[in-house]
Amino acid sequence: MKRIFSYLSPYKARIALGLFFKIAGTVAELVLPLIMSYMIDDVVPTGDILALSLWGGGMLLAAVVAFLGNVKANRMASRVARDTTERLRADLFCKTLSLSARQADEVTIPSLVSRLSSDTYNVHNMIGMMQRLGVRAPILLVGGVTLTFIVDPVLALVLLAVVPVITLIVVLVTRRGVSLYTRLQRSADGMVRKVRDDYSGIRVIKALSKGGYESASFRAVNEEVSRCETKANVTMGVTNPLLNAVLNLGMAAVIFIGAYRVADGRAMAGDIIAFTSYFSIILNAVISVGRIFVNMTKGSASARRIDGVLSLPAELAPLPDGAAERDENETIRFEHVSFSYGGAPALEDVSFSLGKGESLGIIGATGSGKSTLIALLLRFYDPSAGRVFLFGKDIRRYGNAELRKKFGVVFQSDFLMAASVRENIDFGRGLSDEAIVRAAEYAHADEFIRAHEGYDGALTARGANFSGGQKQRLLIARALAAEPEILVLDDSSSALDYRTDAALRKSVLTRLRGTSVVMIAQRISSVRFADKILVLEGGRVAGFGSDEELMRTCAVYRNIYASQHGGEGGEHACDQ
């Protein structure tokens, strides 16, 4: 909660002014029953029309002040809640982008989505309600009880007896509610995860006729959310009925005792009417307090979840610059690199180097560590052991922005925006039209782009109006557009036919002479023309060299070749 309060600091003046209007309106509202009591008991019996008119005007003025003060304060409270939540949401989004891959894996993407949406919404409601009712309800409650002592101290004592019971109810229910709403948000994270997975794989679900299965699976997740929501709402929903019951019992006692006091001449009718008015005010204030605690409970649980992300420490921060100078003759070097996601090693004792302008092909079976190697090269993670160098400099000594500018990357599961072709290739970098078209030509995408409404033609969500191969070439054009020093293609030709793949590979290798190219592929034909080929098996280096060298020395490479082209391969590991 401290972090949320810090976001309110820039609006202190606005909050203070809003509180002034709210207090003025609330006090005016409290004065009305007193004026009414005085008019009934003291003014009406005199028959003085002028005095009656003056006091009636006073009541009208108080009503107007109460109305205008509350309206103005509520409008200001809404603006404060809106602006605060906007800043909080923006900072939370920026924080999610700066999280390390390990932190994102730990929190999970669905949970981050939920915190950005439903949790910030709960905080917005909490901030707004605390300004609208957080001041008004306590003033009405305390002021109403205080004024009942002025009207009739004996009846006020009867009413005051229920206050400890009310306090106990609020404290117990609120304490239970925080844990229940936290559990509800966690179950909502699970539903977001399920929906995201199903929508991402909707075509597979339809192709395999698994709509019924996925519907049943979602129903189970939905029922869990409903159970958590019902339990939380039932627990919090008991607040108002209990408070009303206690207050109504107190009201019954007040009326019973008040009737005797009027009959004995120790109280006047106007006092009893004023007292019942104050009782209604107190009742509404208690109901408002119940609503405040419900929203405070939701907001507090959400604020804790938001703070859990905002307070995560910065990982992968750059180390102080060392003495190593940039080596123009070397692009990439791995020195005895090992890495684990927490279980068995994904990479173990990997060493190799790549010169400037050279191309590197990486091949191996599924799970051999190919994509993990790229994640370390881009510093999404730091190695568990060993070091990675870029241009002769420890990769940990680069700032993130400096490091990312050196790369153009196409991942296995990349995305396209629902925007124009031009915007997808440019990706907010402000590239010239010439650079965009040149990149599309290098990626063999210019022809189909122009045949498909041109560079201003729109893509649908996830690029569904283009074929798989066309989408891959658009992604390659995006990676090429900024003329990176290192181009990383992570299995980016899987949807291309052999002829297009060969033409694209030739275009990249011949036109980007100064750019080092790192290609991950499943097909050996996609990497065999690279200057160097890295063969991975079980996270270890099984071979490293040219195609010709590996065909002589590496049985794993020969087996891959044989399995894809027919023929026999070797039976033993590489002789290195």
Q: What is the CA radius of gyration of the chain?
A: 35
pLDDT band at 570; cut points 50, 70, 90: very low
pLDDT of residue 453: 84
84 found inside a domain? yes
Q: Could you tell me if 248 and 346 lie in one domain?
A: no
Nearest CA-CA partner of 153 in 271, 29, 4:
271
**Does residue 294 surpass a pLDDT of 70?**
yes
Q: What is the DSSP string of 325-393?
A: PP-TTEEEEEEEEEEESSSSEEEEEEEEEEETT-EEEEEESTTSSHHHHHHHHTTSS--SEEEEEETTE
Mean predicted confidence (pLDDT) in 107-128: 85
Q: How do residues 191-202 score in pLDDT, each as one tens digit?
A: 777 777 776 666
Q: Which domain holds residue 433?
A: 330-565
Of the listed ranges 12-21, 55-64, 318-327, the least confidently predicted one is 318-327
> Does residue 371 share a domain with residue 237?
no
Q: What angle do CA 327, 540, 518 make, to 5 degrees?
A: 45
Question: Which of 216-225, 384-393, 408-417, 503-512 has the weakest average pLDDT?
Answer: 503-512
Domain count, the chain: 2
Please, which pLDDT band fits residue 33 given cuts at 50, 70 and 90? confident
| In a shared domain, residues 455 and 505 | yes
Looking at the fold, whether 263 and 363 belong to one and the same domain comes out as no
Between 243 and 17, where is the model more confident? 17
Rounded average pLDDT over 86-112: 86
- Residue 571's pLDDT is what? 44
Cα dihedral sign, 538-201-182-117: positive
- Residue 243 above 80 pLDDT? no
Rounded average pLDDT over 96-123: 84
Task: Give the closest residue to 412 by CA, choosing from 522, 283, 555, 525.
Answer: 522
Are residues 130 and 201 in contact, defined by beta-carbon separation less than 8 angstroms?
A: no
Per-residue pLDDT tens for 323-381?
Answer: 555 566 788 999 999 999 887 889 999 999 998 888 899 998 888 888 899 989 988 88
> Does the pLDDT at position 39 exceed 90?
no
Q: Does the structure show a pLDDT above 90 at 441? A: no
Mean confidence (pLDDT) of the chain: 82
Tell me: do 194 and 88 sit in the same domain: yes
The β-bridge partners of 389 are 333, 394
pLDDT higher than threshold 90 for residue 286: no
Whole-model pTM: value is 0.69
pLDDT tens digit sequence for 152-208: 777 777 777 777 777 677 667 766 776 777 788 778 777 777 777 776 666 667 666
Q: Are residues 173 and 58 in the same domain?
A: yes
Assess contact for 235 and 176: CB atoms under 8 A.
yes
> What's the confidence (pLDDT) of residue 413?
67
Q: Considering the domain boundaries, does residue 28 fall inside one?
A: yes
Query: In this structure, which amino acid lies at residue 121?
Result: Y
Quick one: pLDDT band at residue 317, thresholds 50, 70, 90?
A: confident
Within 8 A by CB and 6+ apart from 232, the residues are: 177, 180, 181, 183, 184
Say whether pLDDT at 23 is over 60. yes
pLDDT computed for residue 494 by the predictor: 66
**How are strands ordered across the β-sheet holding 385-390?**
345-355, 330-340, 385-390, 393-394
Question: In CATH, what number is assigned to the domain containing residue 193?
Answer: 1.20.1560.10
- Please state, for a pLDDT cut of 70, what percent of the chain lies above it: 90
Q: What is the pLDDT of residue 304?
A: 87
In a domain, 405, yes or no: yes
Residues 422 and 302 in one domain: no
Q: What is the mean pLDDT of residues 123-134?
A: 85
Kindly state whether residues 266 and 379 are assigned to the same domain: no
pLDDT score recorded for residue 387: 92
Residue 1 forms part of a structural domain: no
Residues 271 and 383 in one domain: no
Contacts 24+ apart (CB under 8 A), 570-573: 573/537, 573/542
Rounded CA separation 381/374 (Å): 10
Query: Is residue 273 domain-resident?
Result: yes
Residue 433 sits in the same domain as residue 297: no
Domain of residue 421, CATH code: 3.40.50.300
* Amino acid symbol at 174: T
Specify whether the CB–CB gap between 447 and 470 falls below 8 A: no
412 Cβ contact partners less than 8 Å away, ≥ 6 residues apart: 371, 490, 491, 492, 494
Contacts of 224 (CB under 8 A, 6+ apart): 187, 190
Is 552 a residue whose pLDDT tops 80? yes
Confidence tier at 573 by pLDDT (50, 70, 90):
very low
pLDDT at 576 over 70: no
Residues 100 and 181 in one domain: yes
Of 310, 340, 374, which residue sits at a domain end?
310
DSSP per position, 522-556: SSGGGTTTSSEEEEEETTEEEEEE-HHHHHHH-HH
248 versus 403: the higher-pLDDT residue is 403
Rounded to whole angstroms, the Cα distance separating 336 from 354 reads 15
Domain membership of residue 315 (yes or no) is no
Domain-located, residue 573: no
Whole-number pLDDT of residue 119? 87
Distances in whole angstroms, Cα of residue 418 to Cα of each of 426, 458, 462, 507: 14, 7, 7, 28
443-469 burial string, b = 16+ CB within 10 Å, else e? bbbbeebeeeeebeeebeeebeebeeb
Residue 575 has pLDDT above 60, yes or no: no
**Residue 575 resides in a domain:** no
Judge residue 286's burial from the number of C-beta atoms within 10 Å of its C-beta, 0-12 exposed, 13-18 middle, 19 or more buried.
Answer: buried
Q: Are 548 and 444 within one domain? A: yes
Pairing of strands 532-537, 359-364: parallel
Give the model's pLDDT for residue 208.
Answer: 63
Instruction: Measure the CA–CA gap between 391 and 90, rounded to whole angstroms.
Output: 35
Amino acid 569: pLDDT: 46
What phi-psi label fits residue 360: left (phi over 0), alpha (psi between -120 and 50 degrees) or beta? beta
Give the residue-averaged pLDDT of 424-436.
88
Q: How many angstroms separate the CA atoms of 331 and 488, rounded?
A: 13
